[in-house]
Amino acid sequence: MKNLILFFIMSIAFLLNACANDGDEPDLPSLKNPVATTPSDITDNSFTASWNFVSTAKSYRLDVSLQSDFTSFIEGYESLEVTALTAEVTDLTPATEYYFRVKAVRESAESDFSNVVMVTTTGTIIDTDVNLKDKAAGNFFVGAAVSTNRLTGGYNDLLTNEFNSITAESEMKMRTIFLGPGDYDWTRPDALVEYATDNNLNIHGHALVWHVEVPDWMTTFTGSNEEFEQIMEDYIKTVVTRYAGKITSWDVVNEAINDGGGVRNTIFLDKLGPDYIAKCFQWAREADPDVLLFYNDYNTPADLTKQNDVYALIDELQADNVPIDGLGLQMHISIDSPTRQQIQDDVDKALERNLIVHFSELDVRVNPDGREIVGTLTEERDFDQRLKYKEVVDLYNDIPDPFKYAITVWGIRDPDSWIINQYDRPDWPLLFDGSFNRKSAHTGFLEGLE
Ligand code: GLA
């Protein structure tokens, strides 16, 4: 009888228990709190957070904050659902303390938070008040492309505070200067030279020979090839002589190699013959024995056939003792391309040939092909652009001193950039916004000089 009563009580207890567990949740133990562990892969801008496995948890929720009491969160890292036991935390600032914590989750059940782990990103906090040219500290020039109608007000302030070199965006090209055989208009190039001299700025001359912006009278020239060659020799010698001692360097020939390789078919190739590039360098050298002479071209880091042909051209010039001092890599690039390694490989080839390297027309597009076009400079693209500027400047800064010359950015304010017309889409490729304020890209440039 005693056993029967015991059996009866146990059966009732079992039934009551079964009824109590009749909801959606199976009868699982409560979730233990995860233990956040030592972070790994810490870089200037990221780290990997990790924590221990919690039995029966389906996922984890990660918080990352600048404060140990989590009064605010890093964008994208408030209760971020993660199924793995690690998460990469990206887009962070160098040399900054971050805190993370995590909780375990199973359907509507949650654990309490784990312990809080502090992590400091690598790198150094840089003084963002410093100017570009001061930060470069005389190791190389920091230049900007300019035009005579952008030399006053905010342009003047930035040119004289941030930069120590200028390149004429257009006004030292043939179409501006060369009105006809023996007929020159010096108004605008002279104004730029005077401005640079008054403000103690270096001048890079751009460009003696380019197949674009050729004067109309030249493209319709009907005289003999000998006459054309004489006109070209006179032009190069007259321009280089006029500015000898004032202009430090010239792009003698710009963009003579096609995209995808091969010598570009231009009026100069047609009328002067296959050694026209050598002739142009020789004439420039005869006019000024001291000026630095550059060949300048674009997209060679990413277009390897073009790059090979550029170096084949340079090898030929050097084998024939043609006076070439340097190579201008234009660096009209984007946040996605080319990679650091591609740029480095290109630079290395120039250095193997003892050429001075000029990053001559730097701008970084944030709306490249293959990405969704954004109508405003989003925080993410702004950050990517800062990293790209940092990467490019850092790489340039590592070039041995005798082979450095300048990094020239192709304009000052975003809205003035040629990129916007060229690609017919919004973009913000430069270091300063429309109100002459520094962008994150400017910080990236400074970071590259660390
Ligand atoms: C090339 C030229 C520059 C400039 C840009 C934009 O890069 O070298 O002078 O004109 O194109 O058009």
48 and 142, same domain (yes or no): no
pLDDT of 7 reads 53
The band of 192, judged by pLDDT with boundaries at 50, 70 and 90, is very high
pLDDT of 419 reads 97
Tell me, in angstroms, the distance from the centre of ligand 1 to residue 229's CA.
24
Q: Which residues line ligand 1 (CB under 6 A)?
A: 206, 254, 298, 330, 361, 418
110 and 247, same domain (yes or no): no
In order of 28, 56, 151, 409, the CA distances from 169 in angstroms are 71, 65, 12, 10
297 and 322, same domain (yes or no): yes
Find the range with the poorest average confidence among 9-18, 253-262, 285-294.
Answer: 9-18
Q: Does the residue 23 lie in any domain?
A: no
pLDDT of 29 reads 85
Q: What's the domain count of the chain?
A: 2
pLDDT of 78 reads 97
Nearest in space to 118 (alpha carbons), one of 103, 99, 137, 132: 99
Active site residue 450: no
Nearest in space to 251 (alpha carbons), one of 211, 283, 287, 297: 297
Tell me, in angstroms, the distance from the centre of ligand 1 to residue 298's CA.
9
Catalytic site residue from 162, 169, 171, 361: 361
CA-nearest residue, atom 9 of ligand 1: 169
95 and 181, same domain (yes or no): no
298 and 373, same domain (yes or no): yes
Q: Of 120, 142, 160, at which residue does a domain stop? A: 120
H-assigned helices in 353-378 = none
The band of 9, judged by pLDDT with boundaries at 50, 70 and 90, is low
Quickly list DSSP for 303-326.
-HHHHHHHHHHHHHHHHTT----E
Model confidence pLDDT, tens digit, residues 304-334: 999 999 999 999 999 999 999 999 999 999 9
Model confidence pLDDT, tens digit, residues 100-154: 999 999 999 999 999 999 999 998 888 889 999 999 988 999 999 999 999 999 9
Q: Does the residue 201 lie in any domain?
A: yes
Tell me, in angstroms, the distance from the centre of ligand 1 to residue 259's CA.
15
pLDDT of 124 reads 81
pLDDT of 26 reads 56
Does the pLDDT at position 24 exceed 70? no
260 and 386, same domain (yes or no): yes
Does the pLDDT at position 22 exceed 50? no
pLDDT of 5 reads 55
Q: Does the residue 56 lie in any domain?
A: yes
244 and 331, same domain (yes or no): yes
Active site residue 255: yes
Residues 299-316, buried b or exposed e (16+ Cβ, 10 A)?
bbbbbeebbebbbebbee
- The domain that holds 226 is classified in CATH as 3.20.20.80
Task: State which ligand 1 atom lies nearest to the alpha carbon of 298.
Answer: 7
91 and 231, same domain (yes or no): no
The band of 19, judged by pLDDT with boundaries at 50, 70 and 90, is very low
Mean per-residue pLDDT of the chain: 94
Catalytic site residue from 162, 169, 171, 255: 255
Q: Does the residue 331 lie in any domain?
A: yes
414 and 302, same domain (yes or no): yes
If DSSP codes are grouped into helix, strand and coil, which group holds residue 146?
A: strand
Does the pLDDT at position 16 exceed 80? no
> What distance in Å separates the CA atoms of residue 44 and residue 49, rounded to the nearest whole number?
15
94 and 203, same domain (yes or no): no
Beta-carbon contacts of 169 under 8 Å, excluding residues fewer than 6 positions away, are: 145, 146, 147, 410, 411, 418
Per the structure, the complete domain to which residue 393 belongs is given by 132-448
Model confidence pLDDT, tens digit, residues 223-252: 999 999 999 999 999 999 999 999 999 999
DSSP character for 295?
E
- The domain that holds 68 is classified in CATH as 2.60.40.10
Model confidence pLDDT, tens digit, residues 67-108: 999 999 999 999 999 999 999 999 998 889 999 999 999 999
Ligand 1 pocket test, pick from 209, 418, 422 with the greatest ligand atom count within 8 Å of Cβ, gives 418
Nearest in space to 442 (alpha carbons), one of 97, 66, 195, 161: 161
293 and 321, same domain (yes or no): yes
Does the pLDDT at position 395 exceed 90? yes
99 and 223, same domain (yes or no): no
Ligand 1 pocket test, pick from 214, 332, 361, 416 with the greatest ligand atom count within 8 Å of Cβ, gives 361
pTM of the entire predicted model: 0.85
Tell me, in angstroms, the distance from the centre of ligand 1 to residue 351's CA.
24
Tell me, in angstroms, the distance from the centre of ligand 1 to residue 449's CA.
26
CA-nearest residue, atom 6 of ligand 1: 418
Ligand 1 pocket test, pick from 167, 212, 332 with the greatest ligand atom count within 8 Å of Cβ, gives 212
Share of the chain above pLDDT 90, in %: 89
